[in-house]
Amino acid sequence: MQIYPELEPELISNDRLLNLSKEDIDLAIRVGPSPNSGMKQRRIGQFKDVLCGHSSFMKDGADVANAYIANSWQGAHIYHQFKHRKTKVELEFTAKAKCVANSFHTCLSLLNNRVGIGVVPDFLFEQMKPELVEIFPEYQLPINKVYAVYPFMDTLPLNVRVILTEIERQLGAKGNP
């Protein structure tokens, strides 16, 4: 935010659904559309999750169905539906979470420490190869749409506009439409 050095946003990283009005939050970025809340939402990008694990963990003959590290929003019973990249044949994967964490970065740390497998956004997975490897490299998970959600119906305040523009630029830089 070098263009606006006096802009000092407060960032809240949370996987829970927050009440923007009640908590005085001007802008939320979320995966998937928000439930009908009276808030304005706009699609700003997309990504795909990649089911992966550390290469050393996988080389040791891991039992992937019993090694799932889940984020709390996923729950303990995991279900993923993949499609083959070329033939579009579907593959279903189910597992019971070995561990559930309330933070993506905790899950990622567990993957990096060879504790199990889990989902990572494709743009992060690409940065973490070859340490992390795909569980089903010929298959892919569906697209996750990313939305900006805010309480302003008309004109966005300058601070929200500036931050939203930068987030959209970063999402575009990652190869997202």
Cα–Cα distance, 166 to 160 (Å, whole number): 10
In percent, how much of the chain has pLDDT > 90?
56
**pLDDT per residue as tens digits for the range 6-43:** 888 888 887 777 888 888 889 999 898 777 677 888 99
Mean pLDDT of 47-73: 90
For residue 10, the 8-state DSSP code is: P
**pLDDT per residue as tens digits for the range 99-130:** 999 999 999 999 999 999 999 999 999 999 99
CA triplet 43, 45, 48: central angle to 5 degrees?
125
Least Cα distance to 33 among 51, 46, 50, 49 occurs for: 46
Q: Provide the pLDDT for residue 176.
A: 53
Q: Judge: domain 46-143, CATH 1.10.3720.10.
A: no
Which residue ranges make up each domain of the chain? 46-143
Residue pair 145/151 in contact by the 8 Å Cβ criterion: no
On the question of a cis peptide bond just before residue 130, with omega within 30 degrees of 0, the verdict is yes
What is the pTM assigned to this prediction? 0.85
Residue pair 119/140 in contact by the 8 Å Cβ criterion: no
